[in-house]
Amino acid sequence: MKVFHDIVSYSAWRTSLPSSASVGFVPTMGALHAGHARLLEVSREQNTHTVLSIFVNPTQFGPNEDLSKYPRTLESDLKIAEAEGVAAVFVPTESMLYPDGYSTFVTEEKLSLPLCGVFRPGHFRGVATIVLKLFNIIEADHAYFGLKDAQQFFVIQKMARDLNVRIKLTGVETVREASGLALSSRNTYLSKEERTLTAPQFYQILISAKNEFQNGGVIAAVLESARGRLAQAGFQVQYLELRSTPELTDLTAMNILPKEMGAVLAGALFLGKVRLIDNIIW
Ligand code: PAF
């Protein structure tokens, strides 16, 4: 496995691959867990070479967010990458990607506005910018994203379509602990009790709300009751919404969800100081 810390040496390696090679790309911010390992596994199954990037992207963090605290675990990340058969790891520095005087950003102006967009202004601008930069550097055929960050995936898909990016994008189903808790690098901030007793109730409440929608429950009422149960369980609810896929239009006004309609039930909650997001797509 090759590890590259600069663009020139990565590009020389990329150019050396035979034209028959297909490159699968998994962009990450490190702190790899079984969810990332699953993305690497899917990429390995579908490509001759898998490239992993590890970069804690400052432009997607707000001023009061956890950039400086974000877990950095390069050594163990590289072990996981090696075990998953990664061909190359790209670990750039901040000044390489955002040198002094950097002034160009990518903004998706529709799907990035609701849900997390309301509470994390500028977040998807940072995500779209870094992802497009990485796409240009890595020169992949396929790229893989976890669907725990469903809105991120839809925003990137839209950005790629709008900007004629010729990379096939795949969203990979969320990996969960046995309790149902979605794997996330931020789970390491939870206490043992929060992680095993409270946090798993997020997914259980999402599932029961999904069943209620599918059994003809009134959308606004189901959402209200789910928000109440989440609050009772000890979460501070930032949002819980039912949206169409992939356009993310608000479905509350529909009253009852039509059977054939694709939807995502997405939420963001605080458990203490830790922000958790999860969703169910159907
Ligand atoms: O999902 C993430 O880890 C990040 O948002 C991404 C896509 C690597 C961009 O920094």
Question: pLDDT by residue for the chain (282 residues), tens digit each?
Answer: 999 999 999 999 999 999 999 999 999 999 999 999 999 999 999 999 999 999 999 999 999 898 998 989 999 999 999 999 999 999 999 999 999 999 999 999 999 999 999 999 999 999 999 999 999 999 999 999 999 999 999 999 999 999 999 999 999 999 999 999 999 988 999 999 999 999 999 999 999 999 999 999 999 999 999 999 999 999 999 999 999 999 999 999 999 999 989 999 999 999 999 999 999 999
Token pair, residue 129, equals 């910018």
User: Can you give the pLDDT at residue 168?
Assistant: 98
Alpha helix locations (H) across the chain? 7-16, 34-46, 74-83, 94-97, 116-119, 123-138, 150-162, 192-193, 200-214, 219-233
Q: Give which of 28, 26, 90, 31 is closest to 60, Cα–Cα.
A: 28
CB 24 within 8 A of CB 142: yes
φ, ψ for residue 36 (rounded to 5)?
A: -65, -40
Give residue 221 CA to ligand 1 midpoint distance, Å: 34
User: Can you give the pLDDT at residue 141?
Assistant: 98
Q: Give which of 152, 186, 181, 183 is closest to 169, Cα–Cα.
A: 152
Q: Which residue has the tokens 């993305």?
A: 39
Q: Give which of 127, 105, 163, 103 is closest to 55, Cα–Cα.
A: 127
User: Can you give the pLDDT at residue 80?
Assistant: 98
Mutational test site, ligand 1, from 26, 29, 56, 132, max ligand atoms within 8 Å of CB: 29
User: Can you give the pLDDT at residue 227?
Assistant: 98
User: Can you give the pLDDT at residue 64?
Assistant: 87
C-alpha to C-alpha distance for 169 and 131, rounded to whole angstroms:
12
The helix or strand, by DSSP H or E, that contains position 88, with its residue range, turns out to be: strand 88-90
Q: Which of 5, 33, 36, 49 is catalytic?
A: 36
- Looking at the DSSP bridge assignments, the partners of residue 237 are 269
> Does residue 30 line the site of ligand 1, with CB under 6 A?
no
36 included as an active-site residue:
yes
Q: Which residue has the tokens 């009253």?
A: 255
3-state percent helix, strand, coil for the chain, nearest multiple of 5 = 45, 20, 35
Give residue 55 CA to ligand 1 midpoint distance, Å: 8
HSE at residue 230, side-chain half, CA atoms within 13 A, is: 29
User: Can you give the pLDDT at residue 73?
Assistant: 95
Instruction: Look up residue 63 and give its DSSP letter.
Output: T
Token pair, residue 113, equals 């506005």
Q: Give which of 217, 196, 200 is closest to 276, Cα–Cα.
A: 200
Domains of the chain by start residue, with CATH: 2-172 (3.40.50.620), 185-281 (3.30.1300.10)
The total of other beta-carbon atoms located within 10 Å of residue 60's CB is 21
Alpha carbon distances (Å) from 45 to 22, 123, 173 = 11, 31, 15
> Does residue 131 line the site of ligand 1, with CB under 6 A?
yes
Beta-strand pair 236-244/263-271: antiparallel
User: Can you give the pLDDT at residue 66?
Assistant: 80
User: Can you give the pLDDT at residue 231?
Assistant: 98
